[in-house]
Amino acid sequence: MTIGIGLLGLGTVGAGVAGILGTPEGRHPLVAELELRRVAVRDLQRPRPVPLAADLLTTDPQAVVDDPSVDIVVEVMGGLEPARSLILRAIAAGKPVVTANKAVIARYGEEIAAAAAAAAQGVYVLLEAAVGGGIPIIEPLKQSLGANRIERVSGIINGTTNYILSRMAAEGADYGAVLADAQRLGYAEADPAADVQGGDAADKITILTALAYGGAVPRAAIPTEGIDRLDSRDVAYADKLGFVVKLLAVSQRIAGEGSGASTSAGSDSERSDGSTQWLDVHVHPTLVPRSHPLAGVNGVNNAILVEGDPVGQVMFYGPGAGAGPTASAVVADILNIAGIRQACGQAQGAGLDPLLAAGSWRQCRLVDSQHTSHRNYVRLRASDQPGVIGRIGSCFGDAGVSIQSIVQFEAAGEAAEIVVITHEVLEARFRQALEAIDALPEVQGVEACLRTL
Ligand code: NAP
Ligand code: HSE
C-alpha cells in the first residue's frame, strides 16, 4: 500500500529527499511505496534540481499538512515559525512527522513531545537528521545505548565550521571565501550566523543532552562561542604547539549535587526523588591535541564521542551536512514509520515512539560555568623585557592556576606575543588570574582565550 509523503520545503534537504524517493531502484523495497503527494515552497518559479510535476507544489504549507492524501509530514523548511506550528498541526491531525529542524526541536522539543504523546494513538516525531547530518546518532542514543549511564557526549557537530576550520588550517584559506563555498555546497544554515556563531551546535548539543541524560536543558542558557571571532594567528600558534582548533560541543555529567548551579531546566523545584542531574554543557572553539581522535575529523565531517558506563567510548563519524547525507537520515526516519505502519496495518494509525512514551525522566540542571574546570589557551601581548614572563607566571600561580607551557612568539615592534596553556583549572580561578595579568603594566592586553582538550 502506497504511503503519501508531504514535504515542507524543497531546498537542499527537501530536494535530497525528493531525489531518493524518485529513484527507488536498488534501495529498500519500502522506498518504492513512498509517494510524494504535496510539496510546500516559498517561490513557485525557482528552478529545482529534481523534476516534479508542477501541481505538486504549493506556497501554502498548511495545505500540505491538511491534505488527506498525505500520511507522513516531512518538515525540512527550517526556521522556528511556521515550522513549529506546522509540526503541531500535523500531530493534532494524527500524522507522524519527520524533521531535520534542530532549531525548533532544541527550543520546543518538550512541547512537541508532549503533544505527540497526548495525541489519540500517539504520534511519531523522528529527528535523526537534526544532529550530525548523515550520522546515525539520535536512534543510537535513544535505543542502542539505552542501558548506559552516559558520562559525556562531545564532538564536532557543525559541518560548516569544521569545513571552514579545516580549509583554513590546511590551505590558509580566507575565512569569508570558505564560508561562501560552504553556503554554495548547501552546508550552511539559511542564516550562516547560526553556524559560525555556534548557535547551530548549541541547538544540537541541547538535543543530544536531553536524549543522553533524560531531561531537557534550557537552550538559551548554554555558554556558546563560535568561530567568527577566531584569529588565524591562534590557529597557527595552536599548530606550532601540536594542536588543531575545532568547534567542540560538550555535554558532561557532573558528579555530586549543587556544584554552584545557577540555571534550572523547567520548574525551579527539584524532584524529591534525588534524580536531578548536574551538567556542564557548552560550545567553544577548542584546541584539540593532534593525537586525539577528533583532531583528524576534517571537512564537512562530524564526529560525536559518547562515553558511557558500561560501554566505554563509542565514536560516530561521517558527513555532517549536505543534501545527500541529510536526506539519507530523513528517508531512514520515513522508512521507520512506514515500516511500522505496514506492520501494524494502516488502521492502526501512527503508534507512539517509545522515547515519547517514556518522556523525560530526570531533571537536568546546568552548572554555573564559573564552577566548571577546563584547560585553557591564552594569548597575550606584552612588552618584550626581562621578568615579564615571571610576573605573568606569578599571577597564574597566585590564583592557583597551574601552567603546562608558556611560550613567547615574536611580534612587531617592542612587543612579544606570549601563549600560555594551563592545566585543568576552575574557570573562576582562571578568570581571576587573567584580571591580574591584564592589570600588569607590561601587559598590553589578553587577546585570545580558547578552551583546550
Ligand atoms: P533551504 O535550502 O533554505 O530550504 C528551505 C526550503 O523551505 C526551501 O525550499 C524554501 O522554499 C522552503 N520554505 C521555507 N520557508 C517556507 C515557508 N514559509 N513556506 C513554504 N516553503 C518554505 O534549507 P535546508 O538547508 O534544506 O535546511 C532545511 C532544514 O534542514 C533546516 O531546519 C536545517 O537546519 C536542516 N538541516 C539542514 C542540513 C543541510 O546540510 N543543509 C543538514 C541537517 C539539517 P524556496 O525554495 O521556495 O525558498
Ligand atoms: N548548517 C549545518 C551544519 C547543517 O553545517 O552542520 C547540518 O545540520
Residue 246 CA to residue 236 CA, distance in Å, equals 13
Same domain, 179 and 294: yes
Take residue 310 and report the three cell numbers written for it.
558500561
- Give the mutation target among 101, 187, 206, 246 for probing the ligand 2 site: most ligand atoms within 8 A of CB: 187
What is the 177 CA–ligand 2 centroid distance (Å)?
18
pLDDT of residue 357: 52
Least confident of 250-264, 275-289, 332-346: 250-264
pTM > 0.85: yes or no: yes
CATH number, domain with residue 171: 3.30.360.10
Q: Bridge-partner residues for 105, per DSSP?
A: none
Same domain, 69 and 143: no
145-166: string of b/e by CB count within 10 Å (b at 16+)? beebebebbbbbbbbbbbbbbb
CB of residue 154 inside a 6 A radius of ligand 2: no
Same domain, 347 and 393: no
Residue 214 CA to residue 110 CA, distance in Å, equals 12
What is the 190 CA–ligand 1 centroid distance (Å)?
7
Same domain, 30 and 58: yes
Least confident of 11-25, 232-246, 346-360, 416-430: 346-360
What is the 325 CA–ligand 1 centroid distance (Å)?
15
Ligand 1, atom 2, residue with closest C-alpha = 11
CA separation (Å) from 199 to 49, 109, 377? 29, 16, 22
Same domain, 281 and 305: yes
pLDDT of residue 313: 96
CB of residue 188 inside a 6 A radius of ligand 2: yes
What is the 186 CA–ligand 1 centroid distance (Å)?
10
Grid cell 569569508 in the structure block, residue: 176
pLDDT of residue 362: 87
Asked if the model's pLDDT at residue 267 lies above 60, the reply is no
Ligand 2, atom 1, residue with closest C-alpha = 188
CB of residue 188 inside a 6 A radius of ligand 1: no
Ligand 1, atom 4, residue with closest C-alpha = 11
pLDDT of residue 120: 78
Maximum mean pLDDT: which of 74-83, 117-126, 411-420 = 74-83
Task: Please compute the mean of the pLDDT values over residues 288-310 and round it to a whole number.
Answer: 97
Higher pLDDT, 190 or 340: 190
- Give the mutation target among 105, 200, 246, 328 for probing the ligand 2 site: most ligand atoms within 8 A of CB: 200
Q: Which amino acid is it at 392?
A: I
CB of residue 159 inside a 6 A radius of ligand 2: yes
Asked if the model's pLDDT at residue 274 lies above 80, the reply is no
Same domain, 69 and 177: no
pLDDT of residue 262: 46
CB of residue 9 inside a 6 A radius of ligand 1: yes
Same domain, 23 and 155: no
CA separation (Å) from 144 to 97, 137, 141, 337? 22, 10, 6, 18
Q: Which of 95, 102, 142, 204 is catalytic?
A: 204
- Give the mutation target among 62, 112, 326 for probing the ligand 1 site: most ligand atoms within 8 A of CB: 326
Q: Which domain holds residue 124?
A: 3-134+324-356
Same domain, 32 and 60: yes
Same domain, 94 and 123: yes
- Give the domain-ending residue among 305, 334, 369: 369
CB of residue 46 inside a 6 A radius of ligand 1: yes
- Separate counts of helices (H) and strands (E) for the chain: 14, 18
CATH number, domain with residue 9: 3.40.50.720
Residue 102 appears among annotated catalytic residues: no
- Give the domain-ending residue among 336, 369, 402: 369
> In angstroms, how far is CA 373 from the centroid of its own chain?
22
Ligand 1 atom with the smallest distance to the CA of 329 is 43
Take residue 7 and report the three cell numbers written for it.
514535504
pLDDT of residue 321: 98
Same domain, 270 and 346: no
CATH number, domain with residue 403: 3.30.70.260
Least confident of 224-228, 291-295, 354-358: 354-358
Same domain, 98 and 154: no
Same domain, 218 and 124: no
The length of the chain, given as a count of residues:
453
| Contact call for residues 85 and 18 (beta carbons, < 8 A) | no
Ligand 1 atom with the smallest distance to the CA of 43 is 47
Q: How confident is the model at residue 355 (pLDDT cuts 50, 70, 90)?
A: low
Q: Bridge-partner residues for 284, per DSSP?
A: 248
Q: State the angle between helix axes of 232-240 and 159-171 in degrees (0 to 180), rounded to the nearest 10.
A: 70
**Number of domains, the chain:** 3
pLDDT of residue 410: 81
Take residue 199 and report the three cell numbers written for it.
548557535
